[in-house]
Amino acid sequence: MEKIHLHDKTFRKFIFHSRIQEAIDEVAEKINEDFEGCEDVPVMICTLNGALPFTGELYMRLKFNCELGSVKLSSYRGTETTGTVLTVQGLSEDVRGKRVIACEDIVDTGNTILALRELLLANGATEVRICTMLLKPDVYDKDVKLDYVGMEIPNDFIVGFGLDYNGLGRNYKDIYVLDQ
């Protein structure tokens, strides 16, 4: 489908599934290099719901022992960020004394990733590496280092491959941009 309709908005195809898969391969390669031969068992934390497809695909490409957990944070209403990050569901795994790979679907202002990092450190993580499928560099304004970035995109509203507009659109395998 070249265009999809969600609620009151139309979106056009922006990033093909094949390009998403290439980006995930590249991120997995970097993570595997960084954790090659590790004796500890890191924890990969998926930020629900948006990062679920990305984290699942990435997790299956890891070549070292790694636990998997999740957390649910929220900062969007409609197409706009609220500026406030709420913890909707706490951590599903104990991260105390462990290295963590925090997976996000998209980083824009960085408010959510900053809150996630603080949450993980407050729960005893010894190290937090930030991994995101997508980054909007034009609006990212935090000093927190992003360790693994799949792709950089412009500051446009997108849906698909886990990203939604008021609950719809996550199930599409391609990524779509708001059709102005």
Active site residues: 108
**Of 94, 97, 92, nearest to 46 (Cα)?**
92
Beta bridge partners of 130: 102
Whole-Å CA distances, 135 to 37, 92, 142: 29, 25, 12
Integer Cα distance of 36 and 139 in angstroms:
33
Sheet strands side by side (includes 80-89): 80-89, 67-77, 43-48, 99-107, 127-135, 148-152
